[in-house]
Amino acid sequence: MKKEIFLCAINNVLSGTCLEDCKFCTQSVRYHADIERYNYKSIETIVKEAKQAKANGALGYCLVTAGKGLTDKKVDFVARTAKAIKKEVNDLNLIACNGTASIEQLRHLKEHGIDSYNHNLETSENYYKSICTTHPWSERYETCQNVKSVGLQLCTGGIFGMGEEPEDRDSLLNALASLQPESTPLNFYHPNDALPIKTRNISRDEAIEIIKKAHRLLGEDRLLMVAGGRELLFDGYEDIMFEAGVNSIVIGNYLTTVGDAPTKDREMLDRLGYRVATTCHA
C-alpha cells in the first residue's frame, strides 16, 4: 500500500496590500501585479470556506495575511477567526501565516486555536539580499525560532527557481533542517510579468533532486509538501514527485494563482494509488 498524502488548503484572508519589496511576490503593492486585492474577509466567509476545504479532504488549513508581519489588529483577527473555525469544524489543523511574529503574538494565537505557524525562509541567507531589501533574512529565521519556543508546530520552506545558485539551494535546505520543522513547503517559482524576477531557473529533474535532498535532511516522519509551482513542473509527473519524498500537497487555489480543482487532485491521487490522510501525522 502506498503512503498517505496530507492535503492542505490556503485561505488568503487579507490580500495584496504589502509594502515590502520581495521580488517574487505579487502581493507587494510595488509591482502592480494584476491580482485581487482586498481587506479582511468576513469571519463568517472564512468559516464557510474552511468547511468546504474540509469536505474536499484538507487536514491543514492555512490563514494567510499579506504584509511583513503581525500587528495587534492582525493577531486579534486571526485569533478570533481560529476560534470560530475550531468551534464549527472538527479535526482541522489550523496554520497561521502572517509574517514576522513575536513570542507574545504567537502565544496569543496558540491560545486561540492555532496549531501551527508558517513562515518561509524563502531562499539562502546570502541570496536573500538580492530578492528583498526591506527586511532581513535573519528576522525570518528568528520568527521560526519564536514559533518553536512557544510550542507551535513550525511550517517553514522556501521558493526555488528565482535565479539562485545550486549552493543557495543547499544552504536553504540546511537552514530549514537546522530548525527541525514539522512541515516544509517547497515552492517552485511561478513567473509573473509584473515581477522583477522574470523567469524560473529550475528544471523538473533539479526539482526532484531538491525534494530528495529535503526528504533526507528533514526526516521521513515530517511533512514535505510541494506547494506553489506544482502544476507548472509536475502536472502528469506527480508519481515521481511522491516517490522522491513528497507526502503533502496544497489543494485548491494558492495565494494569488489558481490551482487545479480539488476533485482533479483527488482523482490524480486515486489513479496513482495514494490514500488521502485522514489524521495529522506531523
Q: How many CB atoms lie within 10 A of CB 267?
A: 12
Q: Does residue 162 interact with ligand SF4 by CB under 6 A?
A: no
What's the min distance (Å) between Cβ of 241 and ligand SF4?
24
Cell numbers for 272, please give them: 496513482
What's the min distance (Å) between Cβ of 96 and ligand SF4?
14
| 65-103 CB burial, b ≥16 within 10 A, e <16 | bbbebbeeebbebbbebbebbbeebeebbbbbbbbbbee
Q: Does residue 62 interact with ligand SF4 by CB under 6 A?
A: no
Amino acid, single-letter form, for residue 3: K
Contacts for 86 with CB less than 8 Å, ≥ 6 apart: 92, 94, 113
- Rounded to whole angstroms, the Cα distance separating 119 from 95 reads 10
Q: How many residues does the chain have?
A: 282
Question: Between 8 and 66, whose beta carbon lies closer to ligand SF4?
Answer: 66
Q: Does residue 144 interact with ligand SF4 by CB under 6 A?
A: no
Q: Does residue 115 interact with ligand SF4 by CB under 6 A?
A: no
Question: Between 20 and 238, whose beta carbon lies closer to ligand SF4?
Answer: 20
Question: Between 19 and 272, whose beta carbon lies closer to ligand SF4?
Answer: 19
Contact of 252 with 259, CB cutoff 8 Å: yes
Contacts for 58 with CB less than 8 Å, ≥ 6 apart: 7, 8, 9, 92, 251, 252
- Rounded to whole angstroms, the Cα distance separating 199 from 54 reads 35
What's the min distance (Å) between Cβ of 99 and ligand SF4?
6
What's the min distance (Å) between Cβ of 195 and ligand SF4?
10
Q: Does residue 28 interact with ligand SF4 by CB under 6 A?
A: yes
Whole-number Cα distances in Å, 116 to 151, 182, 226: 9, 9, 18
- Rounded to whole angstroms, the Cα distance separating 26 from 109 reads 26
- Candidates 189, 183, 193; CA nearest to 154 is 183
Q: Does residue 27 interact with ligand SF4 by CB under 6 A?
A: yes
Q: Does residue 66 interact with ligand SF4 by CB under 6 A?
A: yes
Q: Does residue 105 interact with ligand SF4 by CB under 6 A?
A: no
- Rounded to whole angstroms, the Cα distance separating 92 from 111 reads 16
Question: Between 20 and 231, whose beta carbon lies closer to ligand SF4?
Answer: 20
Q: Does residue 18 interact with ligand SF4 by CB under 6 A?
A: yes
Q: Does residue 25 interact with ligand SF4 by CB under 6 A?
A: yes
Q: Does residue 256 interact with ligand SF4 by CB under 6 A?
A: no
What's the min distance (Å) between Cβ of 28 and ligand SF4?
4
Question: Site map for ligand SF4, 201-240, x if CB under 6 A?
Answer: ----------------------------------------
Q: Does residue 22 interact with ligand SF4 by CB under 6 A?
A: yes
Question: Between 16 and 113, whose beta carbon lies closer to ligand SF4?
Answer: 16
In the complex, which residues of this chain contact ligand SF4 (CB under 6 A)? Answer: 18, 20, 22, 25, 27-28, 66-68, 99
